[in-house]
Structure 1
Amino acid sequence: MMKSDYRCSLTFLAFLCMLKGTACELCFVRASRAHKFVPEGSSLKLSCEVQCGVLSWTGGWVFQEMQSTGFTRLTPSERIKLSNYSSTANSTHLLVHIHNINQSDAGSYKCEITWTQRDLTSNGHVTYVNVTAAASVDSSGRNLSHRILLCLSASMCFPLVLGLVWCLTRDHPPPPPVPPRSYTSFATRVKPKKELVYAEVTLKNSRRQNDCPKQVPEPTVYSSVHFS
């Protein structure tokens, strides 16, 4: 559909040049047809390209609200910034940047250019903008740089955790072995009680023993042998 519209615009411009019998260069407005869903409170950037090296032109971005029937010209304000720059001698880019977007910014946007020398108006493709509630923004809409930063942080923390675990396990010695249980009987572990020993000592009178000494009997000789 975009290619067919673009070809029709070029054909129409070429036909006008042929009717007026003058040599002219084809001039056109290049823009993308798109549908954008923008959360409330965020920003919106749009651009289009005007390409022409011979004809002078005027115009810019126009806007149509959801319930409106006609387009109105966008003008700069505190929230709406309009700018342009030239990429080549025959090409000019028109930019619109809307800050802190709200529900009133929902609608259709396009570039509308008037060729002053030919009394002709060209329109770029329309971009349809829908403003969604801020709470309906999915957390998965994070940009790519945040995801890459999150992955890099996780990959850097993993070896640090492994090193910390290794240091903690290396510094502490293993626990001492548990001594084996003794299976000796209860009787051997009980110390025997000390027994009391009573001794009886009898003392005899030494004087009485001296008074009555024992008489040692003389040995009896049964035979005697003499050698000469």
Structure 2
Amino acid sequence: MKRAYRCSLTLLAFLCLLKVCELCSNVRASRAAKFVAEGSSLRLSCEVQHCGLPGWTGGWVFQDLDRVGFTPLTSSERIEKSSYNSTANSTYLFLNIHNVNHTDAGAYKCRISWPGNVTSSGHVTYVNVTAAAVDSPGRSLSYRVLVCLGALMCFPVVLGFVWCLTRDHRPPPPPVPPRPRTSCAARVKPKKELVYAEVALNDSRRQNDHPKQASEPIVYSSLRFS
């Protein structure tokens, strides 16, 4: 009974150790397919989980489309390899290829060699190199024509906006009310008329006794023409 218990504990410890070793000797990379234009740059990365254990080696390997098997990549003027320790348990490996051409088309992956002659690899990234994009002269000419037309259309709008900002916004003066047209006769004030009245008092009793004699007119001056 005790022997069976010891065997189970030993097996459990071995499985745990195997799991820890698997986690500490792992390469993480995403499986993908990339299309890169000729003349541009390519950047790839993978993560090596080593749990701080020394002694591991390796890097990027490449397989041409016309060949079988992967070959290690070496640094050159176009190919640049670098690494970055993100934590004490993992390290990132980077691959930069400048001025990509058709010979760079193929499969890329990270392959690490661990102590004890153990090897692990990450997922493969397939790279396809396409033709370089060439700017069409007709397209650039049409683009310039559209830009010029847009500028000409915006010029009157800008002038109108400036005119609206610079003009005087004061309200116009109120209109002068028209003068009433009147005739000269209406504007002349009427003259006051003098009314003379003659009042004669006659005594009826004396009128019967002494009739009034007509008095002769008195001449003050006379004018003769010869």
TM class, shorter-length: 0.5 to 0.7
The Cα offsets for residues 171-210 of structure 1, whole Å up to 9 and x where unpaired, read as: 699xxxxxxxxxxxxxxxxxxxxxxxxxxxxxxxxxxxxx
Indicate the larger mover: 50-59 or 60-69: 50-59
Deviations 1:136-159 (A, max 9, x none): 79xxxxxxxxxxxxxxxxxxxx99
Please report how far the alpha carbon of residue 119 of structure 1 lies from its aligned counterpart in structure 2 after TM superposition: 1.6
Match status 1:87 vs 2:86:
yes
**Against the structure 1 CA distance between its residues 161 and 107, is the aligned structure 2 distance closer, same or farther, given a 3 Å change threshold?**
farther
Structure 2 stretches of 5 or more lacking a match?
A: 1-10, 136-152, 169-226
CA shift in 2, pair 1:66/1:130, >3 Å? same
Which AA in structure 2 matches 1:67? D
2:109 equivalent in structure 1? 110
C-alpha distance after superposition, 1:42-93 (max 9, x if no partner): 0000000001125431100000011110100010000000000100001100
Which amino acid counterpart does residue 111 of structure 2 have in structure 1? E
Which residue in 2 is equivalent to 1:101? 100
**3-state secondary structure, aligned to 2:162:** helix
Task: Tell me how far apart the structure 2 counterparts of residues 62 and 79 of structure 1 sit (CA, whole Å).
Answer: 15
From 47, 50, 55, the counterpart of 1:49: 47
Matched, 1:167 2:162: yes
State the match for 1:18 in structure 2: 14
2:57 aligned partner: 58
Please, what is the CA RMSD of the aligned residues? 3.4
How does 1:61-210 map onto structure 2 within 5 Å? 61-116=60-115, 118-135=116-133, 162-168=157-163
Matches of 2:61 and 2:83, distance apart in 1: 15
State the shift of 1:162 in Å: 4.8
* TM-score calculated relative to the size of structure 2: 0.53
Distance across 1 between alignment mates of 2:14 and 2:155: 75
State how far apart, in whole Å, the 2-side matches of 1:49 and 1:134 are.
31
1: CA distance, partners of 2:111 / 2:18 = 24
How many angstroms apart in 2 are the aligned matches of 1:128 and 1:103?
13
| Inter-partner Cα distance in structure 1 for 2:18 and 2:41 | 45
C-alpha change, 1:33 and 1:160, in structure 2 (3 Å) is farther
In structure 2, relative to structure 1, the CA distance for the partners of 1:37 and 1:115 (3 Å cut) is same
Query: Would the aligned equivalents of 2:52 and 2:90 in 1 still touch at CA under 8 Å?
Result: no
Instruction: Report which stretch shifted further, 164-173 or 65-74.
Output: 164-173
**1:165 Cα offset (Å):** 3.1
Q: Is the 8 A contact 1:47 1:96 kept in 2?
A: yes
- How far off its partner does 1:22 sit? 7.9
* TM-score, with structure 1 as normaliser: 0.52
The 8 Å contact of residues 55 and 115 in structure 1, kept in 2 or not, is answered as no
Matching residue's letter, 2:78? R
Using a 3 Å threshold, how does the CA distance of structure 1 residues 31 and 164 change in structure 2: closer, same or farther? farther
1:145 corresponds to: none
SS of match in other structure, 1:113 = strand
Deviation at 1:23, TM superposition (A): 9.0
* Residue of structure 2 equivalent to 1:176: none
CA offset at residue 161 of structure 1? 7.8
SS at match of 1:18: helix
Match for 2:37 among 36, 39, 43?
39
2:58 and 2:32 map into 1 onto residues whose CA distance is 21
Query: How many corresponding residue pairs?
Result: 137
Q: 1:164 to 1:115 in 2, by over 3 A?
A: farther
Change (3 A) 1:36 1:172: same
Q: Is the 8 A contact 1:24 1:54 kept in 2?
A: no
